[in-house]
Amino acid sequence: MICVSLSEIGYEDCLSMAGREPFVEFRFDLLTLTLEQIREVVSAASSCIATCRPGKMDEDHRLEILKTAIQSGADYVDIELGSDQAFSNEIIQSARYHDTTLIISYHNFELTPAMPELEQIIRDCLKAGADVVKIACQVNQAEDLRNLFKLYSRDQRMVIIGMGKLGVISRIAAPMLGAEFTFAAPETGQETAPGQISKDKLLSILRQIQE
């Protein structure tokens, strides 16, 4: 399953893509939408992930955005491992009440931790309440990629992403390794993470592999 990440577009385009794409991620930290517009785009989506990364707005506003998305029918909500406990508790409570699948995510934009640390990250995500564990790490060498792929041997709902040029293959291989889904950009130039490729390019590669 391919999830198209939406960012840096206006409300009308966001609403249109939400209705057109089977599965989308709303990067609400990279979208300028009112709460009413958030309700509308989430309601328009067939299936969606609500994400609002820290750094661009205060925690109260992030909480309000994510809770609005959950209440509007988001299928998944993604929060970061190590989030403030009060913040996490509110999101988890809302997600459980509205039957929204909880993704706990870990991101490392510099490197891929060693295997023991990766395994501990999975345990920490599960302890934090994750239904789906998401790990995204910068891949600097082949060993990093091998370690990320090894994580799929666990009987757990996961999305494991290698970022950067060497990590591109992880986005292609993810559906075949048992990932819950993989991410793609709507178009080239609209990527939300290093190494992300467009949906059309990803589909083309997958079709070639399956022939």
Residue 145's pLDDT is 95
DSSP 58-120: -HHHHHHHHHHHHHTT-SEEEEETT--HHHHHHHHHHHHHTTPEEEEEEEESS-PPPHHHHHH
* 149 sits in which H/E element: helix 142-150
Instruction: pLDDT band for 210, please (50, 70, 90 cuts).
Output: confident
pLDDT at residue 194 is higher than 80: no
Instruction: pLDDT band for 64, please (50, 70, 90 cuts).
Output: very high
Enter the pTM of the model: 0.93
Between residues 8 and 189, which one has the greater pLDDT? Answer: 8
Kindly report, residue by residue over 150-171, the tens digit of the pLDDT.
999 988 999 999 999 999 999 9
pLDDT at residue 45 is higher than 90: yes
Residue 211's pLDDT is 66
- Separation CA 77–CA 30 (nearest Å): 16
Residue 197's pLDDT is 85
For domain 2-108+170-210, the CATH class is alpha beta
Kindly report, residue by residue over 167-186, the tens digit of the pLDDT.
999 999 998 899 999 999 98
Q: Tell me which DSSP letter residue 131 carries.
A: S
pLDDT at residue 192 is higher than 90: no
- At position 130, the amino acid (one-letter code) is A
Answer positive or negative: Cα dihedral of 56, 57, 59, 65. negative
Residue-range domain boundaries for the chain:
2-108+170-210
**Mean pLDDT of all residues in the chain?**
94
Residue 188's pLDDT is 79
Distance from the Cα of residue 13 to its chain's centroid: 20
Kindly report, residue by residue over 82-132, the tens digit of the pLDDT.
999 999 999 999 999 999 999 999 999 999 999 999 999 999 999 999 999
CA dihedral 181, 186, 10, 23 (to 10 degrees): -30
